[in-house]
């Protein structure tokens, strides 16, 4: 027997999961701003935040931090660690961007999280495995490693 899905409840869950993922991403960026602030030697995080928010491209932001870190940190292992962290952030940003640019589309069989401006036939999308659990599992950011 097929279970009845409360479409409004599924929509709320999708929004909750997406919101949580984007909030977590904001915390990652905040941590990088703190690294930038400490390396800048500014009396408060405000100058670092201003620099960060005025650079559009994440790769550029991270490259700037990567170039500033060795100016303040002499430990070669710490610099290598920062490079690895920076690479992970860049990799995760691709997932963040996909998640941030999805939208909820209501199909007959329930709401689905689908890419905006999807060029594929929406009928195929309705049958695709885009259940909230599948999409969120693929795109939630995991920085526990």
Domain boundaries, the chain: 7-139
- In angstroms, the CA 72 to CA 41 distance is 9
For residue 42, what pLDDT band results from cuts at 50, 70 and 90? very high
Both ends of the chain: CA-CA distance in Å? 40
Is residue 127 predicted with pLDDT exceeding 50?
no
Query: Can you give the pLDDT at residue 27?
Result: 94
**Rounded CA separation 58/28 (Å):** 12
Portion of the chain with pLDDT greater than 70, in percent: 77
Number of other residues whose CB lies within 10 A of the CB of residue 52: 19
More confident position, 95 or 133: 95
Residue appearing with tokens 């996909």: 98
Is 13 in contact with 21 (CB distance < 8 Å)? no
- Of residues 109 and 70, more confidently modeled: 70
pLDDT at 141 over 70: no
């Amino acid at each position: 027997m097929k279970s009845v899905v409360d479409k409004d409840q599924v929509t709320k869950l999708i929004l909750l999961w997406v919101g949580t993922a984007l909030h977590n991403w904001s915390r990652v960026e905040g941590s990088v701003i703190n690294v930038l602030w400490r390396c800048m030697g500014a009396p408060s995080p405000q100058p670092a935040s201003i620099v960060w928010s005025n650079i559009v491209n994440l790769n550029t932001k991270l490259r700037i931090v990567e170039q500033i870190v060795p100016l303040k940190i002499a430990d070669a292992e710490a610099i290598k660690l920062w490079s690895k962290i920076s690479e992970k952030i860049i990799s995760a940003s691709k997932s963040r961007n996909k998640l941030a640019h999805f939208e909820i589309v209501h199909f007959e069989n329930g709401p689905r999280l689908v890419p905006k401006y999807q060029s594929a036939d929406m009928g195929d999308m309705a049958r695709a495995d885009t259940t909230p659990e599948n999409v969120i599992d693929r795109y939630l950011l995991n920085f526990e490693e």
